[in-house]
Structure 1
């Protein structure tokens, strides 16, 4: 009986963590520079809560080259940034 209770508790924890990980939080920012050759965007952004970073201006690589063509310097955006292989990466833009 104890092993069943342990299994149920572990399953509940896994489900709750999985749900939290799938929630996507967009951050507001403004594209200040585009480096298409290096596949990088400089973004002046609000706090990145998921990365525990305050508002600032910084350089990100893009997860998909097509993102470079979707933005212009000075354009306000909402984006998702994550650490991918140790690099700060824009994974979504809307």
Structure 2
């Protein structure tokens, strides 16, 4: 390996190391701020109940954009955090809800009836 190749390799490795350090040092900053926000501060998405499946613990919603999950507006089946939540709504109800990924599945974690 000639001197130029060694120098190039050293520069690339130093740059990669610096990038990894920068990402690592910023990784904890978001979580530090997240702990100060109350769960109720989550942005709620407008939705309409289309179907309720109490046995499966799922609800079909026609909803607007779910920004925290980077999901476009659509109609889809979602899990609910607690099956008892399904007793609070009926098909046709308009709700405002918060969803998160729980064990890989999009899950409604809270909601309120829309006025």
Q: Which residue of 2 aligns with 1:37?
A: 55
Q: Quick check: which one's strand share is greater? A: 1
**TM-score normalised to structure 1 length:** 0.80
Structure 1 consecutive aligned stretches of length 4 or more whose deviation exceeds 2 Å: 12-23
Select the residue among 86, 89, 100 that pairs with 1:68.
86
Which structure has the higher relative contact order (CA within 8 Å, separation 6+)? Answer: 1
Taking only aligned residues, the RMSD between alpha carbons, in angstroms, comes to 2.3
**TM-score normalised to structure 2 length:** 0.66
Task: Find the residue that maps to 1:73 and give its secondary structure.
Answer: coil
Cα deviation code 1:50-89 (max 9, x no counterpart):
0000000000011011111000001000001110000110
- Structure with greater Cα Rg: 2
Uncovered stretches (5+) of structure 2, i.e. residues with no partner: 1-24
May I ask how many residue pairs the two structures share in their alignment?
85
Cα deviation code 1:15-46 (max 9, x no counterpart):
33434685411100000000111110000000
Q: Quick check: which one's helix share is greater? A: 2
